[in-house]
Each structure stands twice: as structure tokens, then as C-alpha cells.
Amino acid sequence: MTVRWEDIVTFCVGGAAVIGFVTIVGRFTIRPFYREVKDFFHWWKKFMRDWDGTPEEPGRAKVPGVMERLNRMDGELQRNGGSSLKDKVFETLEKVEGLDHRVDTIEIRQCEIQKTLNSK
């Protein structure tokens, strides 16, 4: 079997045509899909880093993960004897109720004084 130049040229042209076709199809179909997948995995990596937190490194403080932050917030919403946010809210409520009672008392006394002054 002898190989002719025409066969080699035909083979090369056919190969170039197939490569060109695959390149064009890939540019319009595979590349956008690849970019979307790449962007998604980049976003997922950042999300998981935020979810899990990052350990302390030289020159950087530890960043707690989402669950650790939620647990800390949950602790602030439970009464613990004075230092939680909920304890401070109840303490403020008691003070406001006491002030409200004092204002009511002052208003009653003021009305009594006004009546006394008007009756004379």
C-alpha cells in the first residue's frame, strides 16, 4: 500500500476541519457552560469558607463560622444572671415600668394640687 500526497493532504485538511468545527462549537457551547460551572464552584468555595470560618493565621485573627456565631447569638438571647442581652432588656423594662409608675403618681398629685388651687 502506497501513501500518496493527495491522501496525506486530504487527511490533514479533514483533520483541520474537524478541529476547527470542534473549536467553534466549543467556543459557543462548552466555554460558557464551563465559565458558569467555574463561577459556581468559586462561589461555593467562598460560601463554605464563610460557613466554616477560618482558623487563626499569622497576622490574621480567627473568623468564626456561621454555627459558632449563631450559638453565640443564641447565648445572648438566654437569661444568664445579668450579662446577656435578654437580661439587659428585662432590666431596662423594669426601670421603664418604675419610671412609668412614678410619672403616673406625679400626674395624680399634679391633678390634686390643681384641684386644690382651683377650689380656693
DSSP labels for 16-44? Answer: HHHHHHHHHHIIIIIHHHHHHHHHHHHHH
Does 69 fall in a domain? Answer: no
Is residue 62 domain-resident? no
Say how many domains are in the chain.
2
Q: Are residues 43 and 88 in the same domain?
A: no
Q: Which of 40, 55, 70 is the last residue of a domain?
A: 55
Q: Examine residue 89 and state whether it is found in any structural domain, yes or no.
A: yes
For residue 106, what are the domain limits? 82-120
In the numeric block, the cell 380656693 is attached to 120
Q: Would you say residue 47 lies in a domain? A: yes
Give pTM, 2 decimals.
0.45
pLDDT tens-digit readout, 21-41: 988 888 888 878 888 899 999
Q: Are residues 9 and 45 in the same domain?
A: yes
The widest CA-to-CA distance across the chain, in whole angstroms, is: 138
Q: Does 104 score more than 80 pLDDT?
A: yes
Share of the chain above pLDDT 90, in %: 42
Residue 29 falls inside a structural domain: yes
Q: Are 65 and 51 in contact (CB under 8 A)?
A: yes
- CA–CA distance, 62 with 49 (Å, rounded to integer): 12
Q: What is the pLDDT of residue 83?
A: 77
Residue 63 in grid coordinates: 473568623
Q: Which helix (H) or strand (E) holds 114?
A: helix 85-119
Cell reading at 65: 463560622
60 in a domain, yes or no?
no
